[in-house]
Structure 1
């Protein structure tokens, strides 16, 4: 079962590594979208979020303070859901539906990150390089 949890961590992190690389290689386009959503210093925020995604994902995969990496991703996801996918502000039904899907995706991923945070914060976390920074036991 330990191997299954490791595979799950890798699959979970895959999304954030790809997204983080996208934030860093397509900063201008993403900054334009972020600016349209009211994010100030959008270019810098896109770059910071890209680095945070990559660091959080690598932390989870290798178990290098994976508890903190998972908690960081959960926080980032909730902030992103509220700031970038505020479906309740949309008037166009199609845009409202698309933003609701993205909002729900981010909230669900935050839940997954919190579950990973819990397991990686225990003394029973398999295949990790470091001990957790926030330990439950």
Structure 2
């Protein structure tokens, strides 16, 4: 593991641990901000996964999001399932950003600028998480492995066909 990965993952994770703890400590305040987003996302999730036990209470959703952020951040920081944990954090960051920094709703220029800056900061963090989500630590990813396996199978099939033709020729020669 390179020093960059050794330092970058924990650094990227820290904001999610702090944010998750803050959301658990101030669930009510976060739930007020999250209500607009939750009111739109919950019906979409219920339609996407019918019958799944999707909570509708905004405070519960805030706590679930906070817990997911803390657990995924801890996993990312310690290098356990870094691609999965980065992907979970990226998925949790989108509704968090939409709920927490709706700069388009601000009328005060200073408040709008502050919210836009926070929105852009989260967008930058999202980019880092997407990079961490596809990082393979120098090891080939699944797509490469699948292409390699398919090429190996094709090569083996050609060799088996060639061997079969040679054996058939030998058998024919022995019969005549």
TM-score (norm 1): 0.78
Query: Aligned-pair distance for 1:96?
Result: 1.2
Structure showing greater relative contact order (alpha-carbon pairs closer than 8 Å, 6 or more residues apart): 1
Deviation at 1:104, TM superposition (A): 0.6
Deviation of 1:47 (Å):
0.4
Q: Which secondary structure state, in structure 2, belongs to the residue aligned with residue 6 of structure 1?
A: helix
Q: Is the 8 A contact 1:86 1:99 kept in 2?
A: yes
Question: Pairwise CA RMSD of aligned residues?
Answer: 2.2
Alignment match, 1:131: none
- Structure 1, unpaired ranges of 5+: 126-133
* 1:61 corresponds to 2:77: yes
User: Is the 2:31–2:59 contact (alpha carbons within 8 Å) kept by the matching residues of 1?
Assistant: yes
Which piece of structure 1 moves more, 70-79 or 8-17? 70-79
2:138 is the alignment partner of 1:124: yes
In the alignment, the residues of structure 2 paired with residue 34 and residue 82 of structure 1 have an alpha-carbon distance, to the nearest angstrom, of 8
- What are the ranges of 5 or more consecutive residues in structure 2 without an aligned counterpart? 40-56, 145-176
Number of equivalences: 126
Would the aligned equivalents of 1:123 and 1:135 in 2 still touch at CA under 8 Å?
no
Q: Deviations over 1:50-88 (max 9, x none)?
A: 111112111212222211110111122223223332212
Structure holding more helix per residue: 2
Counterpart position of 1:13: 13
Larger radius of gyration: 2
Asked if the contact 2:33/2:99 (under 8 Å) is kept, the reply is: no
